[in-house]
Amino acid sequence: MIASDDRGFTLGDGLFETVLADAGALQHFDAHLDRMTAGAAVLGLPAPNRAAAAAAMRRALTEAGLTDVRAAVRLTFTAGPGGRGLDRPQTLRPLLVATAAAAPKPAGPARLMVSAVRRNERSPAAGLKTLAYLDNVLARREAGAAGADEALMLNTKGQLACAAAANLFWVAGERLVTPALGCGALPGITRARVIAAARARAIAVEEAAAGPEMLASAAAIFLTNSLIGLRPVSGIDDFAAGQSRITDLLAADLESN
């Protein structure tokens, strides 16, 4: 039972991770907990207990009857109960909660639209998976209302940042390009895996500060996150995106690792 004054509930004071479970096995668990631990340090929270997190996530899978299928396990870590106001209590009692839901892999490429909701690259929370995700919620709602699968978010400078729930990549010639973290992109777990796979194949990788006009000339565009893996993009607003062998190679690398 979550207390009515839990700071995650009242103020968004906390973090979350969404981990893919494949037949009960938590994929890239350590990388997810490393990111949550780093985020907790930025927020001034203690590090989450890894053993307790793993146990809670496995218990969530079991209770949901999802140990034999593809599932998303969300781990939520809050600052705990805090009473009224912004100031945290002197003694924190953090809350760690896990839930699980079925997560079939999306079929086919995604259609994007450029959202009017901007990503604040200057916020200390821009690179964290905090519980304050309303901008992403609004961007995704805008995309859905327009008939798109996902929203493409720019930052306050008009630079490419990310999708509402994914990292963005595009192929320029023989180079792989992704928005730099300083543009407001989240340091995605799958983002890091794709970059490592590209470098292992001697594919040049650039983390760039670029405007959306760069996508019009891209050979291919794709999204990544822990649940979708690598998902090609079929188009953005009124232009169609192409295909590239680089996308296929990297998708195969992700599937095999």
Tens of pLDDT, residue by residue over 181-217, are 999 999 999 999 999 999 999 999 999 999 999 999 9
Average pLDDT of the chain is 96
Query: How much is the average pLDDT of 113-137?
Result: 96
Q: Do residues 132 and 92 make contact, with C-beta atoms less than 8 angstroms apart?
A: no
Number of H helices, E strands in the chain: 7, 13
Question: What pTM value is reported for the model?
Answer: 0.95
7-102 with 110-256: one CATH topology? no
Superfamily of domain 110-256: D-amino Acid Aminotransferase, subunit A, domain 2 (3.20.10.10)
**CB-CB neighbours of 121 under 10 Å:** 21
Residue by residue, DSSP assigns 191-213 as HHHHHHHHHHTT--EEEE---TH
Check residue 81 and give its pLDDT: 95
> How far is 193 from 60, CA to CA, in rounded Å?
26
* Residue 166 CA: distances (Å) to CA of 112, 149, 225, 227: 12, 12, 5, 9
Q: Mind listing the pLDDT tens digit for each residue in 1-21?
A: 788 999 999 999 999 999 999
C-beta of residue 79 within 8 angstroms of C-beta of residue 45: yes
Q: Which residues contact 237 (CB under 8 A, 6 or more apart)?
A: 112, 113, 114
- CA nearest 214: which of 250, 246, 173? 173
pLDDT the model gives residue 241? 93
Q: What mean pLDDT is predicted for residues 142-164?
A: 98
Q: Residue 121's pLDDT band (boundaries 50, 70, 90)?
A: very high
Residue-wise pLDDT for 77-112, tens only, equals: 999 999 889 999 999 999 999 999 999 999 899 999
Domain segments of the chain as ranges: 7-102, 110-256
Provide the pLDDT for residue 124: 92
Residue type (1 letter), 146: A
Report pLDDT for 165. 97
Residue 235 has pLDDT above 80, yes or no: yes
Give residue 84's pLDDT. Answer: 87
Yes or no: say if 253 and 199 are a contact pair by the CB < 8 Å rule.
Answer: no
Q: In which band, very low, low, confident or very high, does the pLDDT at 257 lie, cut at 50, 70 and 90?
A: confident
Q: What is the pLDDT of residue 256?
A: 87
- Give the burial class of 239: count Cβ atoms within 10 A of its Cβ; 0-12 exposed, 13-18 middle, 19 or more buried: exposed
Closest CA to 38 of 127, 110, 100: 127
pLDDT by residue (tens digit) across 37-55?
Answer: 999 999 999 999 999 999 9
The class level of CATH for 7-102 reads alpha beta
Residue 77, Cβ density class (10 Å: 0-12 exposed, 13-18 middle, ≥19 buried) = buried
Nearest to 57 by CA among 92, 37, 93, 32: 32
pLDDT at 142 over 80: yes
Residue percentage of the chain with pLDDT more than 70? 100
- Work out the percent of the chain whose per-residue pLDDT is above 90: 95
